[in-house]
């Protein structure tokens, strides 16, 4: 069945996560998200009360990011951040794993952190999206995280934050974000019922459609306006 404009909009989590965004810019971003009927806005946790007011008459959901962007907070801090965001009105939580612990193969730590935050989300009937930040990880580490997420039965696994710049061999910092090869790997190794969110450097309608074909049910992007205007031009 062909995708419609509404189908595409309902895949999108509109990202309002740039470090220097003002409250006015966040409110404007919420207005754009509501106008296009996207699934959710992705915001920093402190913005949830502001965003709740901005989206008061809109069905667009509020997704708060936790441990953002590098996942390095103590588990207790991440848990409290999630609890406070949910209490303030967040409908969904995106959390960044502790990347260093994953790369250290401290899998019990990673497992327990995800379990605790997922349990807090379940109390509010809020889906948890677990962000791997694939730019930092090997294929074997991605596969292990897929297995952990599947065992814990989380709602989503997610490729990237959009801010995972990693140091390259020449000393420069670069970022790939969501790649088709890594999404395919995630789809292969996650349980079939675990949904996938692709995020990071997704800028065009063709990007969205390619990731959808790979099995993604949600897309994180700040290029929402351009993507949906392109869909309108194509008559979707």
Question: What are the chain's domains?
Answer: 5-233 (3.20.20.70)
The pLDDT value recorded for residue 1 is 60
The pLDDT value recorded for residue 60 is 98
Establish whether 23 is a catalytic residue.
no
The pLDDT value recorded for residue 177 is 85
The pLDDT value recorded for residue 3 is 85
The pLDDT value recorded for residue 235 is 82
Pick the catalytic residue from 101, 118, 158, 207: 158
Pick the catalytic residue from 78, 144, 197, 207: 197
Q: List, for the chain, all residue ranges whose pLDDT scores fall below the cut of 50.
A: none
Q: Name, in order, each residue with C-beta under 8 angstroms of 40's C-beta and a sequence gap of 6 or more.
A: 12, 13, 14, 33, 60, 61, 62, 63, 91, 92
Pick the catalytic residue from 94, 118, 135, 207: 94
The pLDDT value recorded for residue 2 is 76
- pTM score, two decimals? 0.94
Establish whether 212 is a catalytic residue.
no
Establish whether 197 is a catalytic residue.
yes
The pLDDT value recorded for residue 166 is 67
């Amino acid at each position: 069945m062909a995708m419609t404009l509404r189908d595409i909009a309902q895949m999108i989590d509109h990202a309002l996560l740039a470090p220097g965004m003002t409250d006015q810019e966040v409110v404007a971003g919420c207005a754009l998200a509501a106008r296009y009927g996207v699934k959710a806005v992705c915001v920093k946790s402190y913005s949830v009360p502001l965003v709740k007011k901005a989206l008061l008459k809109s069905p667009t959901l509020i997704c708060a990011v936790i441990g953002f962007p590098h996942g390095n907070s103590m588990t207790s801090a991440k848990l409290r951040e999630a609890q406070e965001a949910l209490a303030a009105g967040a409908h969904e939580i995106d959390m960044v794993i502790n990347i260093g612990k994953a790369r250290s193969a401290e899998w019990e730590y990673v497992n327990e952190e995800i379990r605790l935050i997922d349990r807090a989300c379940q109390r509010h009937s809020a889906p948890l999206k677990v962000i791997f930040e694939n730019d930092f990880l090997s294929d074997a580490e991605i596969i292990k995280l897929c297995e952990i997420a599947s065992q814990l039965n989380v709602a989503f696994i997610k490729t990237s934050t959009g801010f995972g710049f990693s140091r390259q061999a020449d000393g420069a910092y670069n970022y790939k974000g969501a790649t088709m090869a890594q999404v395919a790997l995630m789809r292969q190794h996650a349980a079939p019922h675990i949904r996938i969110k692709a995020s990071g450097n997704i800028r065009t309608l063709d990007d969205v459609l390619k990731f959808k074909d790979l099995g993604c049910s949600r897309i994180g992007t700040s290029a929402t306006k351009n993507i949906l205007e392109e869909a309108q031009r194509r008559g979707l």
